[in-house]
Every structure is written in structure tokens, then in C-alpha cells.
Chains A and B, each alone.
Chain A
Amino acid sequence: MTSTVEKVLEVKDLVVEFKTDRGTIKAVNGVNFDVFKGKTVGIVGESGSGKSVSALAIMGLIPNPPGRVASGQILFNGKSLVNMPAAEMRKIRGNKIAMIFQEPMTSLNPVFTIGNQIEEVIELHQPQLSKKEREAKVVDMLRLVGIPSPDKRVKEYPHQLSGGMRQRVMIAIALSCEPDILIADEPTTALDVTIQAQILELMKKLQKELGMGIILITHDLGVVAETCDTVAVMYCGQIVESADVKTLFNHPRHPYTKGLMDSIPSFDSTSGHTKERLQTIEGMVPSLFDLPAGCNFQDRCINVTEQCRGSLGEPILRDMSDEGAVHLAACFNPLKKFEGKGL
């Protein structure tokens, strides 16, 4: 990673625990990643892998009890966010670090106009602005996210807008204080593909204009490949592989990463009517209550050997690259280079 780019967020050995009737589980277990100004970090993984919990931990939104950040650090511009006093956290949340949620249908308040909801954020974090200035800013924000005739739309209620338009309003709310970091948790999952393409394009454009760092959480590898600079793949609360996006997609080293890529049907494989079976990852994600000793992926892995089953402990992230760029993977038997699909 070049040192010329400013690091805005550093997550170090983050562990998030939840207490349940059946015992304590670690939803996030020792996660490390950095966010740089103007760059996008992708976090991919299947349901329950700890993607969203990591994001909520950064926002200080882990419901406590039952959850808590058990150990590790989250440094925002060098300042620790873990155990920050609530009043101070409120100044950062929504202002310096903003978040877009998955469901544009349920994350807006149905009884307030969208203008109202954007204005609320500005009023809270920029009290120096007058009512007039705030209202002008709301219209500007709606224009920025590409909502047509914004001066009329401010008076509309969420139910009058389509899913894509609502997600634009969510983005407008998130960006209204010009945050340093935008956390987007599955921002396009609930949207149709043509609308998804619009929203992703918009996020890229706004990132260029405002220079924020983005954490993009998704299960769609296609979205990651097209929008992120670096990627972390999560499995059972841990990062199992991370690298810059080109390296990861061209030379995945962890069998899970490759398995995920192979599970997606690609258009070129079907031409000429010789449909090969889809590659699958056998079995399913183990329960967090009942993780195996050693590597969490052992029962589904094609490269599994005796040492994966606990004799060497858990695999830790190691640098797999022989050149400059950092390419970490947590695997005892990583795939050889050039085994990826290639371009």
C-alpha cells in the first residue's frame, strides 16, 4: 500500500461477541483492515460471516447487551472509537462516518417528508446553518444524487418514491455532512440490476468529487470486482483472504475465495451449449456455536489435509505475494498462483 494515500480508518484485531442462551459467540473474530481516502474497500462473504457486524462496530451501533466489542481497536484518523463517550460518538456518527443500509424501503421514516429527513441530519451536525441555508442544502443534495426536479421532491414522502429513488435519498442523507468514510451495507441488493448499475455509478462519481473512503459490504462478487480497490473475504467472522482487487480475482489463493468465484455462472461458459456443471462448495457454513478445531473451512475444502484439522492451530493470515503488493490468505494449503480464472 502506498504511503501517499491518507489512511482514515484502521481496524485492528476487532473481536465482537454476542451473548446468547447457548453461550457466547464471536461474530467477528480478529478482523484487520484499513480504509484510505478516496479508495473503496470491499468486504464480501455469505450471510452470517460477520460483514455487517463489523460495520455496526465501526458505527458504534452494536446492541449492548447482548453484543459488545470484546477486544481490538477501531482508529478513526488516529482516534479510538471503541469505548468513546456516547456524546462524542454522536458527533462522528452520521457526520464523519455515515452509513447506507440495505433496505431502502424500511430505513426511511414513512411519516416524514424526505426533505425533513435530510434536513434533520444537517440540523444536527451543522447547527451554524440557518433554516434557509439548510433548505437550500437539502435541494442541492437531492440534485447531487440525481433526483429529478429536487425542489418538488423534497415535499414527498418515502412511499411516493421508487426503490432506486429511496436509495438515492439514503445516499443523500449519508453524504449531507460530507463524511470522510461512507459505509455501504449491501446498498444495491434490494434493487434491480439496471437501477443497481445507476447507484454504483453514482457512488463512484460522488467518491471522486468528495474524496471519501468507502467500505462496501456485499455478497455479490461482481459488484466488488467493478467498484472496489481492495477486497477482504470473510468466513465465519474472520478475514480469510485480502488483496487488491486485481490480484484477488486473478489469483485467488484461498480455496473458499476460488469456490465463491466458481459458484457464479458466467456467460462465456455457456456459449456453444456445452453446459458444464456449476462448481459448488460442498456442505454449508458451520454454526458459530460449533466451530471445528483448526480451519473453519476444513469440511468444505478441496485442499484439506490433516494439518487443517487442528494440529497446527488455526490458520493465520500470511503474505502470499512474491512481489510488492500485499496478498494475505489464511490457509495451510493455498492454491498455487495462476490457478484463478484469469481475465
Chain B
Amino acid sequence: MSEYLLEVKNLTKVFPIKGGLLGREVGSVKAVNDVSFKIKKGETLGLVGESGCGKTTLGRSILRLIEPTSGEILFNGKNIVNFTPSEMRAVRRKMQIIFQDPYASLNPRMTIGDILSEPMDIHELHTDKAARKARLLQLLAQVQLPQDALNKYPHEFSGGQRQRICIARALAVEPEFIVCDEPVSALDVSVQAQVVNLLMDLQRDLGLTFLFIAHDLKVVEYISNRVAVMYLGNMVEVAESSELYGDAKHPYTKALFSAIPHATTAVRSDRIILQGDIPSPMNPPTGCHFNPRCWNATEVCRQTFPGLTQHSSTHMYRCYNPINPTK
């Protein structure tokens, strides 16, 4: 078996746009366009980008919660794209997801005990009553919630605690891989730090592999080993997280990092203010999708879509005029 737990090859998801009286297809949106990447066992790959760039679609396509249009998803070396529903169910035990909004992703009429038991019922784990109880208490301990939480309802918990419950639910079936889709965006900063620390502890203790999706670059850079940057459905740059901040090659990555306000009062000289809005994914610009906002754009950028340039074994980008190309 290879060292990679997950390998995504040329994944594309096209959503049709229906319109008119008869609901005919009048166009399409390439939400995810020919994306390939690999994640090692025990690694965290961060996925950043602005709203509408396809981060969430990509995350859900990997679990086939959204059916990909084309491409391959190799999980533990097996292509799961053509798996039957029953085969898929077995695989899903190993692949879980944590959603953004802890207020909307828990059923308000179920107790925490029921919420955590449901995935174990489906996968027929710990069916013995005593074993089940022990497992529930173990899960609560793992996410640092008190034992009396089992008989309470979601509304009795704060946002940070609900996100811990969502994490416990994902852990219930002993997954190997978890897609974390903006797990801390809805939380206050002090609570956000608690949840980030918890996720990192769990990864270390249980050997989990994460795809960590967020728009907050500071959090992503902190939690990830490698970071992938998306823009309008394309992966424009992938690098080690320590390398990406200091040595971004793609102008968009550079601008994205420079736009983050820092909590210091030192004078900033590196701020790049991008002109214009993110183009509509229904009608992306020809050539490089970033060319209308890019200060390095040349004629070739307006005409042909840039291929992947392999800068080093871990650093790739799609750009004709990268920043410091030789460094």
C-alpha cells in the first residue's frame, strides 16, 4: 500500500444551469476543474480560497456527497468513484466530514447520546449495551465534554461545544480521514483556538488525516502541513505551509496573504489591494482566470490557461509570470 491515503486525479464537477420555460440546460458552472492532489497518512492538507471558488464542492465530491462529473478518487489505493451504494457505505466509515455550522448540523430533537449513537447503529459498531455506553463516554472524553452531556439536547450547548459534538460524531466510527469544512469559521476567536488545538491533539493521538477547508488563512497555515490555494475552481498553487507564506509564486496567493489584517500596529509595506471582484464562475475569463485582477498579466495570460509548473517536489503553481521564479 502506498504512503498516500487519498489520491485525487483530474477531479471535475460541472453543475448544469437550468433556465427558460422548459427548464432546459442553458449553461454550466465548472465548480471544480481538473483538480489533482494527494494526501499522506497522518497529514493535514489545507484548502483555501474565497467564497465560490469550489472548496466545499471539492470536499464533498471526495466523499461523493456530491457526485463528481469525472476524475478518480483513490482511497487506500481503491478508486471509489464507481463504488456501489453498499460498497460506498463501508468506505464512508473511514471517511467522515465536519461541517461549518454547528447550529445547523445537529438535529435539535435528538439527545447528544442519540446523535453520537446513530453512526454506530448504521455501521453496527459496539452493539452491546455496556460497550456502547463505554464508547460514548470515551468519545465525550476525547472531545473534552462532561459525561452528563449524553442526555442533553443541542440547544443546551454553546457554539464551541456543539462543534465538539460534531467532532465526536465524526470520530464515532473510527475514521481514518476527515474532511473539515470550515469547522471553526462560525466560532469566536478564543473558542476557535480551543477547537483548533483539539483537532490537532486528536490527529496526533488517533493518527487521523485531514482535509482542512477554510477561508481563514491564518488558521489553515497553522494547522496544515501543506496548503492548496483555489481560485474559480482551479488549484492555482500547492506548497508546504511554511513555504507558501514566505515564498508564494502565484500572484493570487501573494495577494491573498497580503490582504490579511495582522494584529500588530507595525507599518505594513507589503499590502497588495486587488482591483475588481471575483469573476462569475459561470463565465470565467479566458486564459488564466486570474488575469483581469493580476498586476503581472501579459498577453499569454489572456489567451491560454496556464499548466502546472513543478517548482520543487512539494511546490506547484499555475502561472506564466510567477513571483521570484528562480528562488
- Interface residues of chain A, those whose CB is within 8 Å of chain B, are 46-47, 162-165, 192-198, 200-201, 219-227, 245-246, 249-250, 259-267, 269-273, 275, 277-282, 284-285, 341, 343
A-B contact pairs, 16 of them (CB 8 A): A194-B256, A195-B50, A197-B261, A197-B273, A219-B188, A220-B261, A225-B265, A267-B221, A269-B222, A270-B221, A275-B222, A278-B193, A278-B197, A281-B190, A284-B161, A343-B266
- Interface residues of chain B, those whose CB is within 8 Å of chain A, are 50-51, 158, 160-161, 188-194, 196-197, 200, 215, 217-219, 221-222, 241-242, 245-246, 255-266, 268, 271, 273-274, 277-278
* A267-B218 in contact (CB<8A): yes
User: A225-B265, A226-B268, A284-B160 known; A266 and B218 CB under 8 Å?
Assistant: yes
* B277-A222 in contact (CB<8A): no
The residue from B50, B158, B271 contacting A192, defined by CB atoms under 8 A apart: B50
The answer for the CA separation of A197 and B276 in the assembled complex, in Å, is 12
User: A193-B50, A273-B242 known; A222 and B261 CB under 8 Å?
Assistant: yes
The answer for the CA separation of A157 and B259 in the assembled complex, in Å, is 29
Q: Which B residues are in CB contact (< 8 Å) with A223?
A: 261
* B218-A265 in contact (CB<8A): yes
User: A193-B50, A280-B194 known; A162 and B278 CB under 8 Å?
Assistant: yes
Q: Which B residues are in CB contact (< 8 Å) with A280?
A: 190, 193-194, 197
Q: Which B residues are in CB contact (< 8 Å) with A246?
A: 265
Tally inter-chain residue pairs, CB-CB below 8 A.
Answer: 127
* A164-B277 in contact (CB<8A): yes
User: A263-B190, A275-B222 known; A194 and B274 CB under 8 Å?
Assistant: yes
The answer for the CA separation of A278 and B200 in the assembled complex, in Å, is 10
Q: Which B residues are in CB contact (< 8 Å) with A260?
A: 189-190
The answer for the CA separation of A250 and B264 in the assembled complex, in Å, is 8
The answer for the CA separation of A269 and B264 in the assembled complex, in Å, is 14
* B263-A261 in contact (CB<8A): yes
User: A220-B261, A260-B189, A275-B222 known; A195 and B277 CB under 8 Å?
Assistant: yes
- Identify the interface centre among B217, B245, B277: most chain A CB within 10 Å of its CB: B277
The answer for the CA separation of A97 and B71 in the assembled complex, in Å, is 55
* A192-B215 in contact (CB<8A): yes
The answer for the CA separation of A198 and B158 in the assembled complex, in Å, is 33
Q: Which A residues are in CB contact (< 8 Å) with B189?
A: 46, 219, 221, 260, 263-264
* B274-A270 in contact (CB<8A): no
The answer for the CA separation of A97 and B322 in the assembled complex, in Å, is 46
- B279 nearest CB across to chain A (Å): 10
* B259-A196 in contact (CB<8A): yes
Q: Which A residues are in CB contact (< 8 Å) with B51?
A: 163, 192
- Identify the interface centre among A194, A201, A267: most chain B CB within 10 Å of its CB: A194
- A66 nearest CB across to chain B (Å): 20
The residue from B158, B192, B262 contacting A222, defined by CB atoms under 8 A apart: B262
Q: Which A residues are in CB contact (< 8 Å) with B268?
A: 226
Q: Which B residues are in CB contact (< 8 Å) with A225?
A: 261-265
- B163 nearest CB across to chain A (Å): 12
- Identify the interface centre among A263, A275, A285: most chain B CB within 10 Å of its CB: A263
The answer for the CA separation of A32 and B259 in the assembled complex, in Å, is 32
Q: Which B residues are in CB contact (< 8 Å) with A197?
A: 258-259, 261, 271, 273-274
Q: Which B residues are in CB contact (< 8 Å) with A279?
A: 193
* B259-A267 in contact (CB<8A): no
